[in-house]
Structure 1
Amino acid sequence: MRMPRRVCMGLCLSLLSFPFCGCKNESAPAVKPSAKTESKEAPANTTVKSETPSTTKDDSTAPTKLVASAEAILGSPELTAGISGEGPLTADQINDWLEQPEVHTPLEIVLPMGLMTGSSQVQGIADNLMTRAKIELGRQLYFDTRLSADNTISCASCHDPAEGFAKHTQFGVGINGQMGGRNSPVSYNRILSGAQFWDGRAASLEAQAVGPIANPIEMGNTHEKVVETIAGISGYATQFRVIFGDEGVTIDNIGRAIATFERAIVTGPAPFDYYEAVRPFLVMKPDDLEELKTDDPETYA
């Protein structure tokens, strides 16, 4: 079976630190490179040099082994690392990944420092539980140009990690160079918002995720056609079957997977957030500090 090239890239933005590892070609999910590295080559032949730490040759094709934990801090590299390694992604690697019970465990989401005060505003996870397997599937779809009618546009085309999960243009650009009517909003911190798009016309992140697919200016596809395309790619078909059961590939499940990945994208702590965390100790009286040292040495340290 002809399998894809997998692309790995590490991103470190001023507000985001988010690693990606994915795959490309006609038999398995693809990862689209950032707009800055995109070429006119077919997706199967486009590669991006890895900026993440490399593994030894003996381990390069081994599946990622996870530590069993239901708690996950959004923005943690391990949460979005997905299927590890470089080179062709095989059916065995996909199966090995899916056979790990940990990737199917519903996650207890913890927001990072700086966003914790917004925990009560978390949206959507009660109806669409987050798992590592679903995050990884959504990540693959997010970067896959095969969602579009002419195989040129992915979610990342207008919401590029290299450009802050947005686009440094006045308006988004879709298939055939068509210009949209609004600036591309950022994809991060969407776990804290309900209605989506600038006008709030999508009631959920799941609805937003599949909207551009059928938009004639953006991806110019149909939901029926994209379901047919994704279902015909063996790597995707396997993942959808394991993650969603008998439903398999449906437009709703495509939306659920992409939305799950997008909810995992959050901003990291700013210097001010660290300052706010230690500020109470900076203003404590010496006697109170000594008492803290005695009563709670771990916090004092």
Structure 2
Amino acid sequence: MIKRIGVLTSGGDSPGMNAAVRAITRIGINAGLEVFGIYNGYKGMVEGYIEPLTTESVSEILTRGGTVLGSARLPEFKDIEVRKKAIKQLQRRGIEAVVVIGGDGSYRGALELTHMGINCIGLPGTIDNDITCTDYTIGFMTALETVVDAVDKLRDTSNSHHRCSIVEVMGNRCGDLALWSGIACGAEIVVTSESGFDEQDILDRLRDLDQIKKKKHAIVIISEKITDVHQFAKRVTLNTGFSGRATVLGHIQRGGSPCPFDRMLASQMGEKAIDLLMQGIGGQCVAIRDNQIVAYPIERALVMPSSSKKPLTNLFERLG
């Protein structure tokens, strides 16, 4: 039976990470475990920035965005010698298992530690919703609400000035934020890595919206890393009847108090992580599938194909 566990947050922060830390700490302590916070991700693990957590120390963090444990990227963690330093820091404190909250890169680190004798459980903490084994990641719904709120505000000014607002949202290589917000906001066009980017087709569609459908404004939502939205906005101005304006929402999408869904999801996943570790299980990640909290081996989760976006893509097209 394990007695001491650690918890860390890694990669980009997401709303709900603190709720997960709180659940892991309180449920762990109530199960008879000692819980340690590992600060600044794997970097803090290697450097020994590790402190005990109590029910009091995680009080009042449920509603806070970001992560009280901090986060940092450490590409060098791929090096086995670096991981050995991390394990020595854990062993020095008697920490036998770790819950890792982050994305797929964080999962790979958790898997390597499990192979080296430290059982790890991964929780999907990322606004991108790009962990394929889970329907929702911790932070996605809050980020979606942020995007929708911003686009709703942009629509007011776009409508007043006969504009086409091109809004770049996060998502890395996953188009969920763009597609979901496009449906929720009534956007005219959504561009993701899955849909592809045909500039001429989009310009033609915008001209149709202006000249034939007599739209007062248009909203185009586009995933990051696809094109330079500022340059594209200029081409919209030159080639359509709309005045193109680009808005990059950027890291504002990561901030803010987590919505109730993310608080609940993080708490449920934290509970599942403790249950798995208490059973001596490592090398797995927690997910929500069909409204059930489940777990998958990390090796399987990392190679699972993306869940089909076709139903939502079809919905968006039919709404248009």
Tell me, yes or no, whether TM beats 0.5: no
The two structures have a TM-score, normalised by structure 2, of 0.25
CA radius of gyration, larger in: 2
- Report which structure shows greater RCO (CA 8 Å, sep ≥6): 2
Higher strand residue share: 2
